[in-house]
Amino acid sequence: MSPLPRLFRPVRAAYRATGADGPFGDPLRAHGVAMEGYFWRFTDPSSGRVLIALNGVNRAADGHWSTLGLAAHPHGFLRTAVHPTGAAAPDRLGAYAGEVFRGTTEELRVDLSADARVDVRIDPSAPWPRRSFGGSSIFQTVPGLNQYWHPWLLGGTASGTAVVGEETWELDGWSVYGEKNWGRGGFPESWWWGQAQGFGDPAACVAFAGGRVHAGPFRTTVTAVVVRLPGGRLVRLGDPVVSPVRAEVTDERWVLRGRSAQWRIDIEGTGDLARAHVLPVPLPAERRNVPGAIEHLGASMHVTVRHRGRIVWSDTSDLAALEHGGIDRARAEVLRRGHGPDAVDAPPRASD
């Protein structure tokens, strides 16, 4: 074997440590950046229930720690935690926090408290199908961005249970979505995100992510939209030159318009701010969480997909997730709800 590939290994390792992945890279493996975020979402249209779990594996000067969270719809359940340890698998997708969190492509186990537990197996039947690029597309090759995004699971089936407050939920047959985000500088100043299953066809899945990304002097605003059509075909828009997506976002309304030479995707989402969760984001170097994102877990999302001008799919989910991120905005909402500016377990005020 030629020694040349071995000579390039340190260069490749240094490049990946910036957060970037080359074409045909593996975004599921840990990069070793300031924050590696892991997210699972479980949806059950028959009961109108949604459950999410998250683990942000963060790097401080003295080692790794974790931002943990479990939230549910419709009754506004939320538990978050700062765990003093954290680990992200270097050779596959894996997020760990001592004995209280273990998440992989095929299982999720969470034990935040007696009333916040998950023990579920996952059949990842619809993983991201493209080897060339992940959800960030060509942006995944740009080193040093503050944020990258990859929806690694666009459809799976759960089996197991969750303890949510005083209730125990059977998750057998629930739809599963999974994604990962990571970056050298934590979260952007402002961002928007959404995800939905629970359409008429259980194979359909929609996800989008956008915000202000930067690396050194390079700055831009970009939004990526991913749709898995009922037949299994994947459509992704969001490369600024060839398939731009325009986004207009408030705390209660999301409007996205994306197009390429052949495809057009229109998304309209709405949610009631009084029923939204306020989720934490980490300050990695400070080993603490702060309010960072207003997230609706049971919002409405209407999606229309056209191919060469003809509608090929159009449907609505009333169990969509819609998020408007930004620390200043989230803190203002926490204060409006009568909590301190750094409260990360402020429940929705459904009576507003």
pLDDT-derived band of residue 127, with 50, 70 and 90 as boundaries?
Answer: very high
Using DSSP's 3-state secondary structure scheme, residue 187 falls into coil
Give the model's pLDDT for residue 7.
56
Give the model's pLDDT for residue 224.
97
Average pLDDT, the chain: 93
What burial letters (b/e) apply to 320-349, b meaning 16+ CB within 10 Å? bbbbbbbbebbbebbeeeebeeebbbbebe
Give the model's pLDDT for residue 58.
97
Check: CB of residue 98 under 8 Å from CB of residue 55. no
The domain tally of the chain equals 1
pLDDT > 70? residue 5: no
Give the model's pLDDT for residue 8.
59
pLDDT > 50? residue 99: yes
pLDDT > 60? residue 265: yes
Q: Which residue has the higher pLDDT, 218 or 164?
A: 164
- Could you tell me what percent of the chain has a pLDDT over 70? 96
- The average pLDDT across 129-156 equals 93
DSSP 126: S
Give the model's pLDDT for residue 182.
95
In DSSP terms, which residues pair with 226 in a beta bridge? 207, 236
- The average pLDDT across 296-316 equals 98
Say if 341 falls within a structural domain.
no
Q: Which residue has the higher pLDDT, 342 or 82?
A: 82
- The average pLDDT across 209-237 equals 91
pLDDT > 90? residue 2: no
- The average pLDDT across 125-149 equals 92
pLDDT > 90? residue 213: no
Domain that holds residue 166: 29-336
Give the model's pLDDT for residue 257.
98
Give the model's pLDDT for residue 3.
57
Say if 23 falls within a structural domain.
no
pLDDT > 50? residue 351: no
Closest CA to 138 of 27, 12, 29, 239: 239
pTM for the full predicted model: 0.95
Say if 20 falls within a structural domain.
no
Minimum mean pLDDT among 93-97, 147-151, 215-219: which range? 215-219
Check: CB of residue 278 under 8 Å from CB of residue 251. no
Give the model's pLDDT for residue 144.
87
Say if 63 falls within a structural domain.
yes
pLDDT in tens, 267-276: 999 999 999 9
Say if 9 falls within a structural domain.
no
pLDDT > 70? residue 20: yes
Say if 136 falls within a structural domain.
yes
Give the model's pLDDT for residue 4.
46
Say if 11 falls within a structural domain.
no
Say if 351 falls within a structural domain.
no
pLDDT-derived band of residue 139, with 50, 70 and 90 as boundaries?
Answer: confident
pLDDT-derived band of residue 220, with 50, 70 and 90 as boundaries?
Answer: confident
Give the model's pLDDT for residue 186.
67
> Can the peptide bond before residue 127 be classed as cis, meaning omega within 30 degrees of 0?
no
Give the model's pLDDT for residue 154.
98
pLDDT > 50? residue 125: yes
* CA–CA distance, 47 with 45 (Å, rounded to integer): 6
pLDDT > 80? residue 303: yes
Check: CB of residue 213 under 8 Å from CB of residue 219. yes
